[in-house]
Amino acid sequence: MSASRWITARHAVPRVLIALVAAVTGVTLGAPVRTVAEARVLVVPYGQTSPVGALFAITTAGRLGSHFCTASVVDSAAGDLLVTAAHCVPRHAAGELAFVPGYRGGRRPDGIWRVSRVLVDERWRAARDPDDDFAFLTVRRAGRKASLEAVTGAVALAVGEPAGLRIVAAGYPDTESRLVSCSNTARAFSATQFTFSCAGFADGTSGGPLLADVRPAAGLDTVIGVIGGYQLGGKTPSVSYAARFGGRLAALYRRALAEAGRR
């Protein structure tokens, strides 16, 4: 069996802002053999949905302020869970944040979803350990019966994935009103951190997903890390980092799912 430990998702993303397409290459990582897309990036037209979006601050007047980080809808039974970087959230209480999926040019095709709860790992809270730079956010939208995931779809989570996978990285630079994305290889920076090289990943892309199509049969994009970790994701727009998802991420995800089930 592979050393990877899967956190599976149930729902395929119906229409994804980042599409992984092109020739599929077999990559042997022990057993079983996995396939990894040699991807190019397609940005779908406005009006289609995406599980990737921008995180905004809420002003004292209750309006959207500036976007400053990126998050993704991750699969959950309640359909209201996001994953992002922990360093994105310490300055903001849950009620001071909002998520806008598929944000582009001031348009909010799938609405504004207020953050109601923030979960970070205790080791991050105590020591800002860059290996634990991840967080889960719970969201809601007043007056809406459908869950966020029912609207946008979701990504699956995988832990323990090796370096060397072809990924699509995505995020919202805080000086841009659109998503930037890039395909490259997630290389090993250390045993616990990925790094990748892509131009244009400036401040604001923190929390953006590293998406690998490592389970194409399931029809899901899979996130193996979020931009953050070493240097809070990187000091230059051309080289970025991400904590490799492992056991502590899995434990925090299980906690987020359990707490959602008690609401």
pLDDT digits (tens, 9 = 90+) for 38-84: 222 223 332 356 899 999 999 988 899 999 999 999 999 999 999 99
Q: What is the pLDDT of residue 94?
A: 78
Q: Are residues 211 and 143 in the same domain?
A: no
Q: Are residues 192 and 144 in the same domain?
A: no
Q: What is the pLDDT of residue 43?
A: 30
Q: What is the pLDDT of residues 191-236, one digit of tens each?
A: 999 999 999 999 999 999 999 874 445 555 899 999 998 898 888 9
Q: Are residues 72 and 41 in the same domain?
A: no
Higher pLDDT, 31 or 125: 125
Residue 4 banded pLDDT, cuts 50, 70, 90: very low
- With a CB cutoff of 8 Å and minimum separation 6, the contacts of 176 are 204
Say whether pLDDT at 36 is over 60. Answer: no
Q: What is the pLDDT of residue 249?
A: 96
Q: Are residues 143 and 133 in the same domain?
A: yes
Residue 261 banded pLDDT, cuts 50, 70, 90: low
pTM: 0.80
With 0-12 / 13-18 / 19 or more C-beta atoms within 10 angstroms meaning exposed / middle / buried, residue 130 is buried
Please give the span between the terminal C-alpha atoms of the chain, in angstroms, as a whole number.
36
Q: Are residues 57 and 147 in the same domain?
A: yes
Q: Are residues 140 and 192 in the same domain?
A: no
Say whether pLDDT at 263 is over 80. Answer: no
Q: What total of structural domains would you count in the chain?
A: 2
Average pLDDT, whole number, for the chain? Answer: 79
Q: Are residues 236 and 160 in the same domain?
A: yes
| Domain hosting residue 143, numbered range | 52-152+249-261
Q: What is the pLDDT of residue 221?
A: 80
Q: Are residues 142 and 253 in the same domain?
A: yes
Q: Are residues 184 and 113 in the same domain?
A: no
Query: What's the CATH code of the domain at 129?
Result: 2.40.10.10
Say whether pLDDT at 6 is over 80. Answer: no
Q: Are residues 105 and 78 in the same domain?
A: yes
Q: Are residues 127 and 197 in the same domain?
A: no
Higher pLDDT, 24 or 210: 210
Q: Are residues 21 and 140 in the same domain?
A: no
Beta strand segments in 86-217, E: 97-101, 113-120, 135-140, 156-159, 165-171, 180-190, 193-197, 209-212
